[in-house]
Every structure is written in C-alpha cells, then in structure tokens.
Amino acid sequence: MIDETSAYSACYTTGTTGKPKGVYYSHRCIYLHTMECICYTGMSWKDCFMQLVPMFHAQGWGFFFSATFMGAKIVLPGRYMIDDVGSLVELMVKEKVTISCGAPAIFMPMLNYIKTLQEKPDFGGTRLISGATEPPLAMMRGWKELTGAEIIHAYGATETTPLVLLI
C-alpha cells in the first residue's frame, strides 16, 4: 500500500502565467481528476479518445487516465505539425473519435480544414474539450454546425491537476 497523499508525479510549468514552478501531484489528486473528467464528459467504455494535447503539457490534461479507467479506445496520433491538421481530422474520422482535448490553436486550423472539404465529417455526439484560452464562439458554432461536434470550454492550471471545471 502506498500513501494516497504521496507524490505520484511532478509537472513543471514554463512560466507562461508567472514564474516557472514545479508541482507535485498526489495519487489521490490524479484519481479525483480522473473521476472528474469521466463525470463531466460522460465518458464510457464506448468512447474513443484521441490524445491531441502533448503529454508533457500538464500531463496531457490527464484525460488519457480517464479513457484508460473506463476502458475506452485511445488514439495516439503521434507527432504532428499545425500545418498538417488534415491528417488529424482524417484520423478522427477513421478511428471514430468521440472525445478529444485541445486548445483553440489546434481546433481552429482543424475547423478551417473541414471547411475546405466537399463532404463534411459527421462528429455528432463528439465532445471536444477546449482549454488554454477561451474558445471563440465562431469556432464553437462552426464545429457544431459543420460536424455536429460540441466544444466544451475547460478551465484549469498546472497547479490544479490541471482541470478545474468544464463549462
């Protein structure tokens, strides 16, 4: 048995919102974060989660823990560049992704790529957790109207494991 308050891992910030710092996450904290992500998104074993957030960035926002806990399929797209988001959209279609996380900096170029497609993908029922900055309303509407995907605004910080709430 290990103490649930003992350190599970350390995460270091780059200092984008202040001085760089290290944060230790406890086993309890990771467990509670995992449960919060499941509850707020309604994630189940029937879902397919695609990890877009880099794993080094606040532990990839931790949704892969939730997907693993629920027995959901996990898609790891590998390294990608912002100017090749078409491959991400195609992978989402191919693997039938139902949940993913990312910043508007990735979701906007993906939406712009989708706008160029003759046949728009059907992502009805897909939940896209958007964090880092507030998602633009036009982006939220665009995803919903063109593909059926719902953008859910997330707020958090490295110090909060990282999720605080989903709106």
Residue 154 exposure: Cα atoms within 13 Å on the Cβ side: 29
Decide: pTM greater than 0.85.
yes
Residues 6+ positions from 19 with CB-CB distance below 8 Å? none
pLDDT of residue 167: 66
pLDDT of residue 57: 77
pLDDT in tens, the chain (167 residues): 889 999 988 888 776 667 777 888 899 999 999 999 999 899 999 999 999 998 877 788 889 999 999 999 999 999 888 888 999 999 999 999 999 999 999 999 999 999 999 999 999 999 999 988 899 999 999 999 999 999 999 887 777 777 777 76
In a domain, 98, yes or no: yes
In a domain, 1, yes or no: no
Domain CATH for 31: 3.40.50.12780
In a domain, 162, yes or no: yes
In a domain, 2, yes or no: no
Provide the β-strand partners of residue 10. Answer: 24
Residue 44 exposure: Cα atoms within 13 Å on the Cβ side: 4
Residue 135 exposure: Cα atoms within 13 Å on the Cβ side: 28
φ, ψ dihedrals at 136, nearest 5° = -65, 140
Total number of domains constituting the chain: 1
Range of the domain at 82: 7-166
Q: Give me 109's structure tokens.
A: 């170029």
Tell me the C-alpha distance between 163 and 124, whole Å: 24
